[in-house]
Chain A
Amino acid sequence: MPIIETQDLRKVFRSLVRRPGVGGTLRTLFSREYEDKVAVEGVTMALEAGELVGYIGPNGAGKSTTIKMLTGILVPTSGVVRVDGLVPYEQRRRNARNIGVVFGQRSQLYWDLPLIESFELLRAIYGIPPTRYRANLDHFTETLDMGPFLRTPVRQLSLGQRMRGDFAAAMLHDPRIVFLDEPTIGLDVVAKEAIREFIARVNRERGTTFILTTHDLADVERLCRRIVLIDRGTLVYDGEIDALRDRYGTHRTLVVTLCEPTPVETLTVEGAEVESHAGDVWRLRFDRRTVSAEVVIRRVADRYRVSDLSIEEPELESIIRRIYLEGYSEAMAPA
């Protein structure tokens, strides 16, 4: 049985119509005109226990709304949602025992208190048995290297330290499912890697199910095999990242450095187009289904003197960007 299941999940927000201008503002005060905004439009998905899934989409796609319905703080307009056998919005508090949440932009630690006191409070909130609390605290203190700042007030922690604290806080009660919302936002590369390593490790060692919402696709590439892509409230892709890359990553980029004594005005190569150039470095984009890399390289080498070249695989980011910009169906069509 899937641990998380939604069927035709919909959420429509109703808001007062606001009119521009002073007259409009006055009319808004008394108006009862509403407009409906569809945030999530019929999302159906199923996650198995122990999966680590990237849930991605552009701003306003409906990611947060979905997560809020899964955590039980928003009531769906229609559709079915089940999390570990519970209906979250009907059993919010019981559901809360099964889940953990980490928000990169919003700490759930107590600002004025030393980190350890937030943990103590969580122990009381979740009624964590003392032995398990002790074991988890020791384990997380070690793996997240929190020893040096356990007694520091949260407001004095660096962002990286605070995030580590937030992760420990979300997992002290051994949740079966953890929702991560932009967990690495604003972190430096080292801190990012530490967090990613921690997520991978908890997923591997404890079998915790993770749903990772992020705009940093490096997180997703590093951690997830499966992604669920949502756009304008609708689910547009649900499957393995590799499959997405194979199907939609149809373009490659050849980066060439020329060693011409005089600079070239334009570089023309049959089957490839100039994407950009800076000085003697040219970026040529080609469709790997119509022309092979070998042919493009030969055509370049035949006409120009080349000092260096390399081929770039499309990054997940550029594939996703294309889907955001062109829509899913057009991105599917041959370019």
Chain B
Amino acid sequence: MEHVRRSPGELLAPYVAFAAKAFSREATYRMEVFTNVGSLVVRLYLMKSVWTALYAQNAAPAGVSLHAVLTYTAIALLMSLVLELDGTRQIRDRIREGSIATDLMKPISLPLYFFSDGVGMTLLHALLIVPALIVSLLIVHIDVPPPHVLAAFALSFLLGYLVNFLLNFLMNCVAFWTLETFAVQLMVRWMSDLLGGQVVPLIFFPGVFQKIVLALPFAAIYSTPLLIYVGTIPPSGYLAAWGAQVGWFIVFALLSAVIWHAAQRRVVVQGG
């Protein structure tokens, strides 16, 4: 019986390959790539019109200038180029069509497979940020903070990405039990867009409500990196902000491990 010890390089090789394949696969859907940028530009223009009209009624609510809000909005939309990708949607699709069975017949960790596939997708779509940023600059002027803030934002964005991945993963794992996750996903997506601060900065929420939404995991995805970017969270607050994101990441990771373990035991393959 073969019992080969594999080096870390060999263990990682499949996942690097998955990411590379996802990257080239996404590149084949050129049309989608362009429509994504197009849709972003339209949304940015609409948001600019809405905020400008609102500010005409009430200048600087919560002490935030129109210019800061527009920067926030533009960066949020650019972030959504990668955060709205759901690499784990495959889980649901593969459970429904039954191909999760052949995946499980491979000597790989499926959660890691979905993660590396998602990373490959993300990397390709991240390239879009460059042209999208250039086009965005034609519509709104975006503030660029000093390098140390940008670095803090990048780290926070990365942590938010991981939390977002796990949230999607958990959501799609629901399909192991229900086969269908559309309603759950739509609800969570709306909640995370609204309560995560993608549409409206969370600091505009009133009193107690603001405290609640800032404490929810959704804030870790959009709000925390964005508030670092626009400077609402000062450098003294970085550690606490990152800490909260890491906290949510750990909670979701543990939850994912439990759910995945249970899911594997109850694979019901559709058909056949």
Contacts and interface: CB of A to CB of B under 8 A. Distances in A.
Interface of A: 13, 64, 68, 71-75, 84-85, 92-94, 96-99, 101, 103, 105-106, 108, 110, 112-113, 117, 120-121, 124-127, 181
B102 A103 contact: yes
A64 B272 contact: yes
B101 A73 contact: yes
B108 A125 contact: yes
26 contacts: A68-B101, A68-B269, A71-B101, A71-B104, A72-B105, A73-B269, A84-B1, A92-B264, A93-B108, A96-B107, A97-B2, A99-B105, A101-B102, A101-B105, A105-B272, A106-B99, A106-B102, A108-B102, A113-B25, A117-B24, A121-B17, A121-B18, A124-B16, A125-B14, A126-B107, A127-B6
Contacts of B14: 121, 124-125, 127
B267 interface: yes
A188 to B, nearest CB: 24
Interface in B4-41: 6, 10, 13-14, 16-18, 21, 24-25, 28
Interface of B: 1-2, 6, 10, 13-14, 16-18, 21, 24-25, 28, 97-99, 101-102, 104-109, 264-265, 267-269, 272
Contacts of B107: 93-94, 96-97, 125-126
Nearest to B18: A121
B219 to A, nearest CB: 33
A13 B101 CA distance: 17
Contacts of A108: 99, 102
A35 to B, nearest CB: 15
A110 B14 CA distance: 14
A151 to B, nearest CB: 14
B21 A113 contact: yes
Given A13-B268, A71-B104, A93-B108, 9 more contacts: A73-B104, A74-B269, A75-B265, A98-B2, A106-B102, A108-B99, A112-B28, A124-B16, A125-B107
A124 B13 contact: yes
A13 B269 CA distance: 12
B103 to A, nearest CB: 8
Task: Give me the 6 closest cross-chain CB pairs, A-B, nearest first.
Answer: A124-B17, A96-B107, A64-B272, A73-B104, A93-B107, A124-B14
Nearest to A85: B1
A75 B6 CA distance: 27
Contact of A96 (B25, B99, B106, B272): B106
A112 B23 CA distance: 12
A313 B12 CA distance: 57
A113 B97 CA distance: 20
Contact of A72 (B6, B25, B104, B268): B104
A121 B109 CA distance: 15
A65 to B, nearest CB: 9
Nearest to A110: B21
A64 B28 CA distance: 35
Nearest to B268: A13
Residue among B17, B105, B269 having the largest count of chain A Cβ atoms under 10 Å = B105
Contact of B10 (A72, A93, A127): A127
A117 B107 CA distance: 18
B9 to A, nearest CB: 10
Given A106-B102, A125-B107, A126-B107, A113 B267 contact: no
B25 A181 contact: no
A123 to B, nearest CB: 8
Contacts of B105: 71-73, 96, 99, 101
